[in-house]
Amino acid sequence: MSLRVVLGVAAGGAVGAVLRFLLDRYLRAGILLANVLGCLVLGYLFGELTWLAENGGAPGGAVLTALLSETGSTVLAIGTLGALSTFATVSVRVAQTWMAGRQLRAAGIWVAHVGLGFAAAAAGIALSRISGLY
Amino acid sequence: MSSSASTAAHRRPRPKRPATSLTVLVLLVALAGAGGALLRLVVGELIPEQGMKFPWTTLAINLSGSGLLGLLIGAARARPSTPDWVVPTFGTGLLASYTTFSAVILAVMPSMPGAAYDGLRVVTYVSPGAMEMLTYLFISVLGSTAAAAAGLTISRALFGQLGAESADLGVSSEGPHGS
């Protein structure tokens, strides 16, 4: 684990956390949006990396090359997207809702996160297939 | 605002703290968020998921993070005197960043081949069946929620319950003295 990765993940984590904090502060479904965004971009990243691993070849621009490098993808996936998306916040809110006697609503929160998360990840993978950025 | 003279000698009036500014909160969340992501990176290094059939490390992170956040939120709920920067820093910043959702969803995506990229130290797994992955997802969701509920309950027992049970309940608690 290189120092560059450590510093990058720290910086990426800070960005992801602040973005989620602001989304949660100003939007009603801020945490849901943060999780969906995280799944979308991570799906895109995985799709790109899979394509590269299978086909070789260098990605297009300098920015994309940097983002898809080993360090770049780790910083993005573990740092930014890892911190942007969250499991604990959803768990606590569902637990609170459940304990307040609203079991159906509690279940609905998880269904929304998982369902939309899946859809966003699939959309991200599809985007990577059609983006043609190579 | 100054409260009227309290007749109850055992109740000290609390000094009112000035609200923490948004700039300071953002800086605290950034610092703690960096810490949370680093913590997850380190745990992933210590217990690498490469070659695991399921992303157990991610599950352990989400279980522990959810339980701890339950403890924190429960404690903050029970004690209104908690400074307004504590939950954003240690909850939104540290613990919520430590846990992750996107990696879990990508891990259980049926269309994702395992180990997409050797250098990518995110969830990699050995091409499991869809049913197995759905079971893993179920364990993650139910386990983390149970851990959060346990944390909330333990905090409530430790710190006593003052005020409403949940943010979702807009019910005002009955004061000790009638109107």
pLDDT bracket for residue A60 (50, 70, 90): low
- CB spacing of A73 vs B98 below 8 angstroms: no
pLDDT band per the 50, 70, 90 thresholds, residue A55: confident
Average pLDDT over residues A86-96: 98
pLDDT of A1-53, one tens digit each? Answer: 799 999 999 999 999 999 999 999 999 999 999 999 999 999 999 988 888 87
How far is B134 from B136, CA to CA, in rounded Å? Answer: 5
Q: Encoding tokens for residue B69?
A: 């956040």
Give which of B21, B24, B101, B141 to mutate to test A binding, by max A Cβ within 10 Å: B101
Residue B76 has pLDDT above 70, yes or no: yes
Q: Can you give the pLDDT at residue A57?
A: 67
Judged by average pLDDT, the poorest of B91-95, B104-108, B169-173 is B169-173
Left, alpha or beta for B12 (phi > 0: left; psi -120 to 50: alpha)?
beta
> Over 80: is that where the pLDDT of A94 sits?
yes
| pLDDT score, position B122 | 46
**Do B116 and A46 lie within an 8 Å CB cutoff?**
yes
Rounded to two decimals, the pTM is 0.84
Q: Does A103 touch chain B (CB under 8 A)?
A: no
Q: What's the token pair of residue B179? A: 């109107």
Q: In this model, does residue B1 exceed pLDDT 80? A: no
Answer whether A72 touches B (CB < 8 Å).
no
DSSP H helices, chain B, are 22-46, 56-78, 86, 96-98, 102-108, 130-159
A21: Cα separation from own chain's centroid: 15
Mean per-residue pLDDT for A57-84? 86
Nearest Cα of chain B lies from the Cα of A133 at a distance, in angstroms, of: 18
Residue-level pLDDT at A31: 98
Contacts of A17 in chain B (CB under 8 A): 29-30, 32-34, 36-37, 92-93, 96-97
